[in-house]
Amino acid sequence: MIISGHPAARGTVLRRLADDYLESLLTRDPSRAALSKDSRVSLNATLVAPGELPKFDDFPALQIFTDVEQGGIALAGVTIVEGVLRPYALRLKIENERIAEAETIVSGTTKGHFADVDQLMKPDVLYDAPVAPERAATREALRAAADSYWIGLQESDGSIPKFNYRCDRYDNGKRITNNLSILLSPEAAVLTCASSLYGTRPARPLARARAYPVLDVSLGVVVSWVMVDFRENPLLKLPGMTHYMMTLFKVVDGEIRIMDEITEKVPFGTPSAW
């Protein structure tokens, strides 16, 4: 089990609770996790009992981000389920040193135009790099930067978020922007972070149930959970679908420098479990 993350971003108690929770998943023993009496657990937008989660074989590569102020923990990377690598994301909410909420995404989309799970085996060190104070954003500005992306997506307007000129977007490990292979996908274009938003207009997306469980000023990292409804897109001949995702944003100089999404497709309009 590999967990990477800058030491300054870790709350000792939060990190220990996260480690214990992962061990409880591997051993199939919920009693090993510090779950509160009224804890809630979800898998791919559906509430489940802790014992109803998949049998996880390992977590070979994860990044962890913590927010002591909110009691938030987020992990992103790879799990192994039944011998298969899967994109994985986990959100924990800590109250009184107990886990009150555990929200899990295990994606079945591992390869293709919009996924490459193997790339998640090498967590990007950019997210672990501290941001100099003069280039860092406040907690409020971090949240606003991430939220501007979801607003831009809803408006299909790539000018709303501020993207750094080096910005790239990754979905389930696959680089989606500035990648010639996307020409062979239904998008049939070489995308930038901005143009990928303009291209969503036919699907009239709705980004709902937005949450920001981690805001880390020292790292310039925002962790966002969201459900995005993409309506039927007749232009690309795509059916309506909801993308349930966790997105990591790195914000430097008030601009989005890089973003990674762990995404699972669920039926259109699936309600949030939270």
Dist. CA 210–CA 35, nearest whole Å: 24
Q: Domain for residue 174, yes or no?
A: yes
6 has pLDDT over 60:
no
Q: Are residues 132 and 256 in the same domain?
A: yes
- The number of domains in the chain is 2
pLDDT at position 9 is: 43
Q: Are residues 134 and 261 in the same domain?
A: yes
3 within 8 A of 85, measured Cβ to Cβ: no
Of 109, 138, 170, at which residue does a domain stop? Answer: 109
Average pLDDT rounded to a whole number, residues 224-243: 88
Q: Are residues 38 and 151 in the same domain?
A: no
pLDDT at position 97 is: 93
Of 61, 82, 109, at which residue does a domain stop? Answer: 109
Mean residue pLDDT across the chain: 94
Q: Domain for residue 116, yes or no?
A: no
Burial class (CB in 10 A: 0-12, 13-18, 19+), 49: exposed
86 within 8 A of 263, measured Cβ to Cβ: no
Domain with 83 in it: 3-109
22 has pLDDT over 70:
yes
1 has pLDDT over 70:
no
pLDDT at position 230 is: 95
Q: At 11, is the pLDDT very low, low, confident or very high (cuts 50, 70, 90)?
A: confident
Q: Domain for residue 7, yes or no?
A: yes
User: Between residues 151 and 4, which one has the greater pLDDT?
Assistant: 151
Q: Are residues 94 and 151 in the same domain?
A: no
Average pLDDT rounded to a whole number, residues 226-253: 91
114 has pLDDT over 90:
yes
Q: Are residues 183 and 234 in the same domain?
A: yes
Q: Which amino acid type is present at position 266?
A: V
154-to-86, 148, 226 alpha-carbon distances in Å? 28, 10, 12
Of 59, 83, 109, at which residue does a domain stop? Answer: 109
Residues 35-94 pLDDT 10s:
999 999 999 999 999 989 999 999 999 999 999 999 999 999 999 999 999 999 999 999
Q: Domain for residue 118, yes or no?
A: no
Average pLDDT rounded to a whole number, residues 224-233: 94
Rg over alpha carbons for the chain, rounded to the nearest Å, is: 18
pLDDT at position 57 is: 97
Q: Are residues 137 and 226 in the same domain?
A: yes
Q: Are residues 137 and 204 in the same domain?
A: yes
Tell me how many helices (H) and strands (E) the chain has.
3, 15
**pTM (2 d.p.):** 0.93
CATH number, domain at 247? Answer: 3.10.450.50
79 within 8 A of 72, measured Cβ to Cβ: no
Containing 23, the helix (H) or strand (E) segment is helix 12-27
